[in-house]
Amino acid sequence: MERRPLLAGNWKMNLDHLEAIQVVQQLVYHLEAEDYDASELVVCPAHTALRSIQTLIEGDRLRIGLGAQDCHWEDGGAYTGEVSAPMLAKLKVAYVICGHSERRQHFGESDEVVNRKVKAVRRHEMTPILCVGETLEQREAGQAEDIVVGQLRGSLAGVGITASSELVVAYEPVWAIGTGRTASAADANEMCGVVRRTVGELYGAEIAEGLRVQYGGSVKPGNIVELMGRPEIDGALVGGASLDPEDFAVICRHHRL
Ligand code: 13P
């Protein structure tokens, strides 16, 4: 089955709304129609830039999707500082990153919390980009596969998925994020295969076959081609390199490099 690659920029806590607009404008300047045909392209700005980027995408009819980096699990209520899934849906957000390792690490998000967030995103008909991945310690102890399977099973418990388009999983080994250290394409491919197999156990072969599994962790113009050449890798969740519109454009042009 042909899976259309999904290339998403996770801008993390970078770019105010004016800078974000500039980055998108410069990115599209470097892209051709064939790039949008080859892959689905998404940017995930900070919450404060979502409205500006939504307006830019709609106003200029850009073929770029909008993603958010996180949301709360409740639809509303006394949760000072939080943003809910219905608020994001109203901004035409299509994807919401759930369970990024930085949220697990710095904000104590457990699989149970991630599970509630995934459910909130699905309730409002957006697609979670569910992040999983092991730490260096866990990898060296030979636990990478068990950790990733456990995160998937915990984060997806009780989540009804009836089509491949309703879920994206990003395999992001924690030791490769922001470190300049990329997993080898072979290792990344193997772990993305573990993700697909586990999703198959949960939702059946057909959904697993159509599922897009991204790799994330120091994806750069110099390694995108090799990563995308692997059969289990259907795209990338790009941090640092997505802040530079020229670098991100090269990544988006991977199919013609
Ligand atoms: P870097 O590409 O900066 O390593 O970040 C990866 C990441 O965490 C994407 O979500």
> What are 240-254's pLDDT values in tens digits?
999 999 999 999 999
Q: Is the CB of 177 under 6 A from ligand 1?
A: yes
State yes or no: pLDDT of 1 exceeds 70. no
| CA torsion through residues 159, 187, 7, 50, sign | positive
Contact of 169 with 185, CB cutoff 8 Å: no
Identify the residue whose C-alpha is closest to ligand 1 atom 7: 239
| CA torsion through residues 91, 61, 233, 193, sign | positive
State yes or no: pLDDT of 151 exceeds 80. yes
State yes or no: pLDDT of 142 exceeds 90. yes
Q: Is 100 a catalytic residue?
A: yes
Identify the residue whose C-alpha is closest to ligand 1 atom 2: 239
On whether the pTM is more than 0.95, the answer is: yes
Contact of 65 with 91, CB cutoff 8 Å: no
Question: Distance between CA atoms of 240 and 12, rounded to whole angstroms?
Answer: 9
Q: Is the CB of 234 under 6 A from ligand 1?
A: no
Taking only the tens place, the pLDDT of each residue in 58-86 is: 999 999 999 999 999 999 999 999 999 99
State yes or no: pLDDT of 24 exceeds 80. yes
CA of 95 to the centre of ligand 1 (A): 16
Q: Is the CB of 218 under 6 A from ligand 1?
A: yes
